[in-house]
Structure formats: C-alpha cells, structure tokens
Amino acid sequence: MNAMSEGNPRRRGPTLRRTGERAKCRFCSRSLPRPARREDALHANLPRGACACGATFVVDPTGRNGGVALVEALTDAAAGDRGKASYMVPGRDYNDFIENYEPRAHRYIPGFRGYRRGMARLYLVKLIEVEESDTSDPSVPSG
Ligand SMILES: [Zn+2]
C-alpha cells in the first residue's frame, strides 16, 4: 500500500483574484500613509492623508459622500482654500483617481468599477502645476 500517494495538484488557481493592491499614490507610486482622522476638520468622518509628492487623499468610509470627499481632498491640496477647491475643474486644475478601498488592510480593491454599495472609496487628487512658460504639455495620461 502506498499511503503517501495523494493528489498533487500543480495547477495554479486564480488565488490572487481577491488580493488587493496596497494603497499607493497613482501620481508617483509611493505607498500612501494610512489616513488620519482630523478632529478639527469640517468633515471629521472623512479621514485623510497626503503623499510626499503633494497629492492629497480623502477616504469616504461609506462611499456615499463622493462629492464632499472630493472637495475635501481638493481643499487640502489647495492649502485649505475651500472656495478655490469648489471651482476647480478636473483635467485643467487637478487630476484625480478614485479607488475602491479596504480601510482595515489599507489596500485598493481591484476588479470593481464604479460605486459599489457599502464599499469605502479613496479620492486621490493632485493639483496641476501651471508653469509660467506657455508650452502645452499633453503628458497627462487620460483614463
Ligand atoms: Zn505621490
């Protein structure tokens, strides 16, 4: 009797399917710090953080405060200028990435597009620096 003979599956299953990607800055690829709650903020329920490259992000734990979370992130990017943040135009004044996010693991959740009920989202924004020179720079990727 050969008791040691067992099925030895060699095929690799799609085990990585549900493994998220550690939250990182889409502008510079650095790992993002964990968001910190701010007691003094207008929206204390929206934790936020910043990347060393100048990008800022806000986490919406419920996924339902999209517009507010985006303005909060822009306000931080604009050094607290809420009025300025409210009229910024995407693609002209700033670029943004919106990721589905798992707060406990501090990871992005791949595979979902658009809003999913109950899922936290991370709003990452970075202002477009306008230089004095008048060279048009189409280096910003779209999509
Ligand atoms: Zn960055």
pLDDT per residue over 25-42, tens digit each? 999 999 999 999 877 667
**Residues less than 5 Å from ion ligand 1, measured at CB:** 25, 27-28, 30, 51, 53, 55
- What does DSSP say about strands 48-50 and 56-60: parallel, antiparallel, or unpaired? antiparallel
Strand order in the sheet with 48-50: 21-22, 107-108, 94-102, 120-127, 56-60, 48-50
Who contacts 17 (Cβ-Cβ below 8 Å, separation ≥6)? Answer: 111
108-116 mean pLDDT = 71
Q: In the predicted model, is pLDDT for residue 125 greater than 80?
A: yes
Query: pTM for this structure?
Result: 0.74
Measured in Å, residue 81 CA sits from the centre of ligand 1 at 21
Measured in Å, residue 52 CA sits from the centre of ligand 1 at 6
Measured in Å, residue 24 CA sits from the centre of ligand 1 at 8
Q: Answer for the pair 65, 93: CB distance below 8 angstroms, yes or no.
A: no
- The domain locations on the chain are 22-127
Q: Answer for the pair 126, 54: CB distance below 8 angstroms, yes or no.
A: yes
Q: In the predicted model, is pLDDT for residue 44 greater than 90?
A: no
